[in-house]
Amino acid sequence: MIMSMTGFAASRGALGPYSWAWELRSVNAKGLDLRLRVPDWLEGLETALRAELGRAVKRGNITLSLRLQRTDEGGGISLNRAALDMVLDALAETEKRAEDRGLVLDPSRAADLLGLRGVWETVAGDDDTGPLLAALKAEFPGLLSDFLAMRKTEGAALETLLGDQLTQVGALAEQAATLAEARKPQMAETLKTNLARVMDSAEGADPDRVAQELAMLAVKADVTEEIDRLRTHVATGQGLLSNGGPVGRKLDFLMQEFNREANTLCAKSQSTDLTAVGLELKAAIDQIREQVQNVE
């Protein structure tokens, strides 16, 4: 079964004076991008969570946030003076450089500076945080399991949709094959007529050379190879869906191959009906590509 890159899970917990809320979500991405927002005073927590996420998912923009609160007076937040000094120094340098260039910046507000990340820091109480850290680590696998379950559910729906769309592309390829076979007598007759016209109007022309040139034109108009490759691509795509796993990159590359064959088919069609089928193929392939962007 394939896995979707879209997922979400949330949970809450509590231990002693602490309460917390988890939120884990993901959207599609070219690679794996893990963004964790967890209290930095719980030493080792972020490293453990990042490692567990890295083992569970292969692609996606993953955001994990943990909001932790303490209900008594044993902890809180305090101003990180070192971080604030760095911000103020950077602000002063920015304003000085702007002034040197004749630019006037809007005045900064204290609320803007205090809202920057790192200016405030969480202060733990005097109690041992070991039990809290252990509780959070023990709870995370359940959150991750719910998250993966949603990605699998989304993946199952994607697999069904992609399978139907590949079947549609296969049917259009067969329709194109039928039209291409039906036009062969007409193309042969057209070539004979053109050959006769050329020989009648071109004195001294080499009949063999003229016939050879017309034959090359016929070969260039033949779409058999494109249709055969489309059939192969359909079979490959169905195989990737059956095998499951992180196949999103392979499917994305396959869509490029599909689109290349459809474009060539339209360029070589020389038939209104065959061109119409080629355009339907392009539309169907584009729909598949949109869905493939969300496959892990």
The per-residue pLDDT for 86 is: 86
Each domain of the chain, given as residue ranges in start order, spans 7-76+127-151, 79-114, 153-292
Mapping DSSP to helix (H, G, I), strand (E, B) and coil, where does residue 35 land?
strand
pLDDT band at 140 (very low <50, low <70, confident <90, very high): very high
Indicate whether 148 pLDDT > 80: yes
pTM beyond 0.85, yes or no: no
Instruction: Quick: pLDDT tens for 244-279.
Output: 889 999 999 999 999 999 999 998 887 889 899 999
Instruction: Quick: pLDDT tens for 76-129.
Output: 556 778 888 888 888 888 888 888 888 888 887 776 776 676 776 665 555 678
Indicate whether 149 pLDDT > 90: yes
What separation in angstroms does the CA of 265 have from each of 49, 184, 288?
50, 15, 18
pLDDT band at 155 (very low <50, low <70, confident <90, very high): very high
Instruction: Name the CATH code of domain 7-76+127-151 (choices 2.115.10, 3.30.230, 3.10.620, 3.30.1490).
Output: 3.30.230
Rounded Cα distance, 127 and 227, in Å: 71
Neighbour-count burial of 126, counting CB atoms closer than 10 A to its CB (0-12 exposed, 13-18 middle, 19+ buried): exposed
**Both structure tokens of 247:** 């196949």
Q: What is the mean pLDDT of the chain?
A: 85
Rounded Cα distance, 118 and 116, in Å: 6
